[in-house]
Structure 1
Amino acid sequence: MTRGFSLHWHELVEIVYVLGGEMHIALEGQDYTAHKGDIIIINSGLVHGYSSTGPGSDNSFFIIQFGLELFDQAHIDLRNRVFQRLVLGKLSFSRNSEGNEIHHRLADSIFTMNQEFCERKEGFHLAIKARLYDMALTLLRDVPARQVSDSELIRRKMRNQVLDKIFSFIHENFNHDIRLEEAAEAVHLSKFYFSRFFKSQTGQTFHSYLSRVRISHAEELLADTDIPVTELAYQSGFASIKTFNRQFRTITGTSPSRYRAGER
């Protein structure tokens, strides 16, 4: 996997197990690197995204998403928590038997759920739900977390609504010559406040995020079509092939021609 997932958020809890390679994780304005065997915990409502660590990084992973309503009354316990250790590193637990046990229990549940889903034996839905309960209990009891107040949850929801509008504007217009002022106007903010808000919430500037969205689109065209590089550069929103080539190499670590040839 070389193409990633641009910044987004959802109400679901997301747990990622890295099967191979490395991956960058952008989470609430912070950057992390996950390696083979690591487990990433994404709380409900947090802004996050994934990308490759560079050319030749053959990433593969499981992604498990579930809604908190699955746990009936206990969903409040999970909703009001923000886990302090978001990347559970397999290697970092080599000298920590307690941490290693937490990682082992979560990993065992993840692989059991995948096996149940693939085999689809009678009652596999129930088996998967049982493993999700096991994982939720491990997270609640053994992974350090802080409680989130109702007022913080409300502020997060309001922030996410603004970010939704910004992300939608960018993804609907990235192939045009859009300016920061236009994006700010779309969400009724001054360009100065917009710049500070976007950087603080995503860890990226508006222009760097816009470039990543454009390059991600170009990656899809390079991998899935035979469109000439010059044409797909313009279709992805770049005004010149020189700018496209420079930004493509900066973000992916390789050239468009090599990417198309499979050197990713």
Structure 2
Amino acid sequence: MRRELWENTLMTDPALPINVFHPTFGIGCSLRLHWHEHFELIYVESGEVLYQIGGRPFPTKPGDMLFVNSGELHSATSLYPNEPFTVYALVFNPSILGLKEPHIVDLVAPYTNGMSMIASRIEQTDPWYPLLKQTTMQLAAEFEQKRYGYELAVRSYCQLLFTWLSREFTVMQRSDSEMNAFRVKMDRFKELLTRLESDIAERVTVEQAASLVHMSPYHFCRMFKKVTGQTFVQYLNLNRINKAEYLLKNTSMSVTEIAAEIGCSSINSFSKLFRQLRGLSPRDLRKGQSI
């Protein structure tokens, strides 16, 4: 039943895994009960809304802010059936926070694995509310307007928001012994991520990666998705294409050389993967750079 409620939230750019929704729910409309692996920050712009988050009711009014932790079931409906409501919903994958850096993994992973949780409601009377609201609206504006460099701004705002929320609004944290056991496991993951990052071309299988962190392939795949927000294959492919894009823009290496550099077996497979993740071919990207 829970799997049926899973939502595959649309992320238009794998390299910038965030989407900003600004819907108006008309009379009689509601947001169905669902869950996703992303974090979600909600700002109620107009109307009075009843949110259900993690089985708890949260009646809201304009200006209220809510947070949905990774994996929490949530839904929304108007408190008054004959009135519409409008919200901003910032849905972002943990990977946007920069999980390639080991110390950031330490900060974020407990929240993706349920070891720690952020409060569901940010009260308007809270001293941090004005800054959180301002930053949320700045992020939404950057994402919607997509001016030059917006990707960097959006990523930076996400990092700031998550830092403040985890610092000031953490409401649950496991015992010291549980956290220590978790950190041992995460240290192994950090070593693996560092290895994957340092040698993009290395062909590491799921089985090999799982053995490096002393886990079965099944449990490794589940843990990897929770830690990074991506499957193992998605993570490898995105790393390779990010490196390829850098080489296309900043070197004179041929497309064939770049394909070999990132470990693709052929130009065709490289071009297909690049188009899938970037929306254009490697040659078209380079051609656009020279115009």
Query: What CA distance in whole angstroms lies between the structure 1 residues aligned with 2:173 and 2:111?
Result: 9
Q: Which residues of structure 2 form unaligned runs of 5+?
A: 1-24, 100-104, 182-218, 223-291
Q: Deviations over 1:135-167 (max 9, x none)?
A: 01101111132125689xx9xx9xxxxxxxxxx
Q: Deviations over 1:87-141 (max 9, x none)?
A: 2232xx1xxxxx2x31111111111011112221110011011000110110111
Question: Partner of 2:45: helix, strand, or coil?
Answer: strand
| Aligned residue-pair number | 145
Query: What CA distance in whole angstroms lies between the structure 2 residues aligned with 1:129 and 1:136?
Result: 11
In the alignment, residue 161 of structure 2 is paired with which amino acid? M
In the alignment, residue 139 of structure 1 is paired with which amino acid? L
State the match for 2:62 in structure 1.
36
Query: What CA distance in whole angstroms lies between the structure 1 residues aligned with 2:33 and 2:82?
Result: 23
Query: What CA distance in whole angstroms lies between the structure 1 residues aligned with 2:46 and 2:139?
Result: 18
Name the stretch that deviates more: 124-133 or 49-58.
49-58
State the match for 2:200 in structure 1.
none
Determine if the alignment matches structure 1 residue 76 to structure 2 residue 109: yes
State the match for 1:87 in structure 2.
121
Query: What CA distance in whole angstroms lies between the structure 1 residues aligned with 2:84 and 2:123?
Result: 19
Which of 99, 112, 116 matches 2:142? 116
The answer to which structure, 1 or 2, has the higher relative contact order (CA under 8 A, 6+ apart) is: 1
8 Å Cα contact 1:34-1:87 kept in structure 2:
no
Query: What CA distance in whole angstroms lies between the structure 1 residues aligned with 2:58 and 2:141?
Result: 28
State the match for 1:22 in structure 2.
48
Question: Partner of 2:128: helix, strand, or coil?
Answer: helix
Question: Partner of 1:55: helix, strand, or coil?
Answer: coil
8 Å Cα contact 2:96-2:158 kept in structure 1:
no
Q: Deviations over 1:234-263 (max 9, x none)?
A: xxxxxxxxxxxxxxxxxxxxxxxxxxxxxx
| 1:132 to 1:147, Cα distance in 2 relative to 1, 3 A | same
Identity score, percent: 20
In the alignment, residue 32 of structure 1 is paired with which amino acid? F
8 Å Cα contact 1:18-1:34 kept in structure 2:
yes
Question: Partner of 2:143: helix, strand, or coil?
Answer: helix
Name the stretch that deviates more: 58-67 or 1-10.
1-10
8 Å Cα contact 2:116-2:170 kept in structure 1:
no
In the alignment, residue 109 of structure 1 is paired with which amino acid? T
The aligned runs of 1:1-264 (5 Å cut-off) are 1-2=25-26, 3-71=29-97, 72=99, 73=105, 74-79=107-112, 80-83=115-118, 85-90=119-124, 93=125, 99=126, 101-148=127-174
TM-score normalized by the length of structure 1: 0.51
Q: Give the structure with the higher percent helix.
A: 1
8 Å Cα contact 1:116-1:128 kept in structure 2:
yes
In the alignment, residue 38 of structure 2 is paired with which amino acid? L
Query: What CA distance in whole angstroms lies between the structure 1 residues aligned with 2:38 and 2:141?
Result: 22
Query: What CA distance in whole angstroms lies between the structure 1 residues aligned with 2:146 and 2:52?
Result: 34
Give the deviation of 1:17 after TM superposition: 0.2
Query: What CA distance in whole angstroms lies between the structure 2 residues aligned with 1:34 and 1:88?
Result: 11
Query: What CA distance in whole angstroms lies between the structure 1 residues aligned with 2:110 and 2:61?
Result: 29
Runs of 4+ displaced beyond 2 Å: 55-58, 77-80, 148-151
Give the deviation of 1:77 after TM superposition: 4.0
Query: What CA distance in whole angstroms lies between the structure 2 residues aligned with 1:29 and 1:140?
Result: 21
Give the deviation of 1:58 after TM superposition: 2.7
Query: What CA distance in whole angstroms lies between the structure 2 residues aligned with 1:109 and 1:45?
Result: 24
In the alignment, residue 82 of structure 1 is paired with which amino acid? M
Question: Partner of 1:57: helix, strand, or coil?
Answer: coil
Q: Deviations over 1:26-67 (max 9, x none)?
A: 122221101100001000011111111123423111000111
Measured on the aligned residues, the alpha-carbon RMSD in Å equals 2.3
Question: Partner of 1:45: helix, strand, or coil?
Answer: coil
Query: What CA distance in whole angstroms lies between the structure 1 residues aligned with 2:164 and 2:93?
Result: 17
In the alignment, residue 69 of structure 2 is paired with which amino acid? N
State the match for 2:272 in structure 1.
none
